[in-house]
Amino acid sequence: MKSLGSYSLTLPILAAVAFGLYPPAARLAYAEGANPVFVVLLSTFLRAASLVNREEPRTPTY
């Protein structure tokens, strides 16, 4: 199990990178002929996929 400290540094850095890459990636997609609906759907799908928990669910201990 990773410590909370590693998440507190990693998540903001990854979020900043994702927000920084979005405008150039959208500009490139538009230059290649993509329409705005495709860009919005793709970015929404990728953001939703990043929220999926890949670990097995933990059972609560009482």
Residue 24 included in any domain: yes
- What is the pLDDT, as a whole number, of residue 4? 59
Residue 62 included in any domain: no
Residue 1 included in any domain: no
Amino acid of residue 13: I
Amino acid of residue 19: F
- What is the pLDDT, as a whole number, of residue 5? 67
Which structural domain range is residue 40 located in?
7-50
Sequence-separated (6 or more) residues with CB below 8 Å from residue 5? none
pLDDT over 70 (residue 1): no
How do residues 17-60 score in pLDDT, each as one tens digit? 888 988 898 899 999 999 999 999 988 898 888 777 667 667 77
Question: With a threshold of 0.75, does the pTM exceed it?
Answer: no
The total of structural domains in the chain comes to 1
Measured in whole angstroms, the distance separating CA 58 from the mean position of its chain's CA atoms is 23
CA-based R_g, the chain, Å: 16
